Structure 1
Amino acid sequence: MSVIVQNVLGILFPILCLLASPVAQCQSSDVKWLTFEQLEKALAAEPRRVLVDFYADWCAYCRKMDDAAFRDPEVVAALNSNFYAVRMNVETRDTIYFSGVRYVNREAGNKRNPVHEIPLLLASREGVPFTLPAVVLFDESFQIRNRYFEYISPESMRTILRNSLSE
């Protein structure tokens, strides 16, 4: 395929995705979300920065971020190219193994909105009740760099990702 044809397709594909009906999904318009188990394997193969999005089904701002920030073409491209993105429902009852450690939701069955151990470990603040939405950014060594506990607009998410890459 000639370079000109590749360039034209590179420009037209995102435009066609935006014009397509809501039923037709363009594959490149979605964030490639991983589980923690998949993340562990991916980090072992190729270290990258990591974004973890903690959410709950009842969280209106989490849904709003999913519909806006995580559908923004620039955010999707930045995440898929430069980060591993993990999305986790904080109320999951799944047992998750990560880095040789077993994590569970100890609050399941005991609290109205039970929060799994992983978000409690990664997205809690001392003296502040756990809140959503919560986004945590890690460097290539899986060390926490930034945490956000609010709705993040597409514009702000683009800035956050750009700043993370320049650190």
Structure 2
Amino acid sequence: MKKHITLLLLIFTISVSKAQNKINWLSFEEGIKLLKENPKPLLIDVYTDWCGYCKKMDIETYSNQTIIKAINDNFYAIKLNGEEKKDITFKDYTFKFKAQGRRGFHELPAALMNGKLSYPTTIFLTESAEVLQSIPGYLDKKVFEKIVAYFSSENYKNTKWEEFDKNFKSNL
């Protein structure tokens, strides 16, 4: 019996450890549902399947343990495909895929990015689902760490970015 309990504890410890080694990505719908139940800011990674810099950001930035912890502790993290085919309802409006050119785009990420389609784009939303900032382009782990710290600690409310950036101490 004691061996079984020890084995179960070991399996549980390994499971918890592995869960903390990656970002808890959610769908947009899951993130909004959790936001309503327990308000917390949102971090949205807008990507496409064909985007090389999106994949590079997954491998080099989103795999860093400091960044994983900061995101999981402070945000609901959402992966949102810029070319998503299914409808998504948000704030009483149903956003749809729009065929355009060779690929097309989804209206929701386009709206969150003010029509400036760029992949990857990182979007920060408040606890009331209002857009704080949309940051287009690849972000390496050093830059991303600062940005996540700025928005997770709500420094954006009373500290200008330049001042925050100048005084930031990295944990990497």
Q: What TM-score comes out, normalization by structure 2 length?
A: 0.75
Amino acid at match of 1:98: F
| Residue among 126, 138, 163 paired with 1:151 | 138
Aligned residue-pair number = 141
- Measured after TM superposition, the shift of residue 89 of structure 1 is 1.2
- Measured after TM superposition, the shift of residue 43 of structure 1 is 0.8
| Residue among 96, 115, 139 paired with 2:105 | 115
Q: Is the 8 A contact 1:40 1:99 kept in 2?
A: no
Q: Which residue of 1 aligns with 2:148?
A: 161
Q: What TM-score comes out, normalization by structure 1 length?
A: 0.77
- Measured after TM superposition, the shift of residue 46 of structure 1 is 0.9
1:43 aligns with 2:39: no
Unaligned regions of 5+ residues in structure 2, if any?
1-13, 156-172
Q: Is the 8 A contact 1:95 1:102 kept in 2?
A: yes
Q: Distance in 2 between matches of 1:40 and 1:138?
A: 11
Q: Which residue of 2 aligns with 1:73?
A: 65
Q: Is the 8 A contact 2:22 2:68 kept in 1?
A: yes
Q: Is the 8 A contact 2:124 2:132 kept in 1?
A: yes
Percent identical residues: 28
- Measured after TM superposition, the shift of residue 90 of structure 1 is 1.0
| Residue among 128, 135, 141 paired with 2:128 | 141
Query: Deviations 1:19-57 (Å, cap 9, x if unpaired)?
Result: xxxxxxx22111111112111210111111111110011
Q: Is the 8 A contact 2:75 2:152 kept in 1?
A: no
Unaligned regions of 5+ residues in structure 1, if any?
1-12, 18-25
Q: Is the 8 A contact 2:83 2:103 kept in 1?
A: yes
Q: Distance in 2 between matches of 1:124 and 1:81?
A: 28
Q: Which residue of 2 aligns with 1:32?
A: 24
Amino acid at match of 1:164: F
Q: Distance in 2 between matches of 1:113 and 1:74?
A: 35
Runs of 4+ in 1 over 6 A off after TM superposition: none
SS in structure 2 of the partner of residue 42 of structure 1: helix
> What is the alpha-carbon root mean square deviation over aligned residues?
2.0
Q: Is the 8 A contact 1:54 1:87 kept in 2?
A: yes
Amino acid at match of 1:79: I
